[in-house]
Chain A
């Protein structure tokens, strides 16, 4: 049985992470709690906590093909990622195999926007509690 627990985060594409974080703090008082610097093929990531979810800021790596600034995707937490992927595939939804996620202690799978009415959706399962998983890797 598919169990979508909650909206985990919404991802915004930005060209300048620090400037974007400064803007959200100035306009609406949202404070960034973590910032992960790029390492390997991973982009710069920031999070602005909001209730039981967060706004994720993603700054593409220099030289990488950058999407337009704006809303990029949403992420939904599930209990059992493998079961969720299998259940969606039985209904004809195009979804990737589970893989390690960009945040520590997460596994993710990606639903094709073609299956989700134009919305890239990430399914995420957290290996530890959200508090532990949200801390940056130093």
Chain B
């Protein structure tokens, strides 16, 4: 079952520059910052109510996030929804022939995650996440 919006993801050119707005001007606390080698990004999570803002800065060329930045510039990238059972969610999506990017959950900053193809939700890239406590 989908419980909440886990985070909204925003691609930025320079994390330190983005902090000047999201952390300093909007006043959001910085919860976590990490390098995700497999995706070639630096990621920061800033809590906002029950949800978080995720800032993504590409640190390697020729990755999905780097290409997004080149093609479309900075901006909204995806929405992550929290589920209490990602395996069951994936089974349901498969049963309904929903187009997926990840057929199996993998480890991400938000826990066990998988991406649903944007074609499944009128152009919106959706990540599902089951946090690991």
Contact = CB atoms under 8 A, between A and B. Distances in A.
Interface of A: 1-7, 10, 12, 14-15, 20, 23-24, 26-30, 50-53, 55, 68-74, 76-77, 88, 91, 93, 113, 115-119
B122 A53 contact: no
B130 to A, nearest CB: 13
10 contacts: A1-B27, A4-B28, A20-B122, A23-B121, A28-B126, A53-B50, A113-B75, A116-B21, A116-B22, A117-B18
Contacts of B17: 117
A113 B89 CA distance: 34
Interface stretch (B4-12, B31-39, B104-112): B4-12
B21 A117 contact: yes
Which 3 A-B residue pairs are closest in the complex by CB-CB distance?
A6-B49, A51-B4, A118-B75
A28 B3 CA distance: 11
A23 B126 CA distance: 13
Contacts, number: 120
Given A7-B49, A53-B50, A118 B73 contact: yes
Given A23-B122, A28-B81, A71-B76, 18 more contacts: A4-B28, A7-B49, A10-B8, A24-B121, A27-B121, A28-B126, A29-B2, A50-B81, A51-B51, A55-B5, A76-B48, A93-B21, A93-B25, A115-B21, A116-B22, A117-B17, A117-B22, A118-B73
B96 interface: yes
B101 interface: no
Nearest to B1: A29
Given A10-B5, A69-B122, A117-B21, A27 B98 contact: yes
B4 to A, nearest CB: 3
B1 A71 contact: no
Contact of A2 (B18, B27, B123): B27
Interface of B: 1-5, 8, 10-13, 17-18, 21-22, 24-28, 48-51, 53, 73-79, 81-82, 89, 93, 96, 98, 116, 118, 120-124, 126
B75 A117 contact: yes
A10 B52 CA distance: 12
Contacts of B48: 4, 6-7, 76
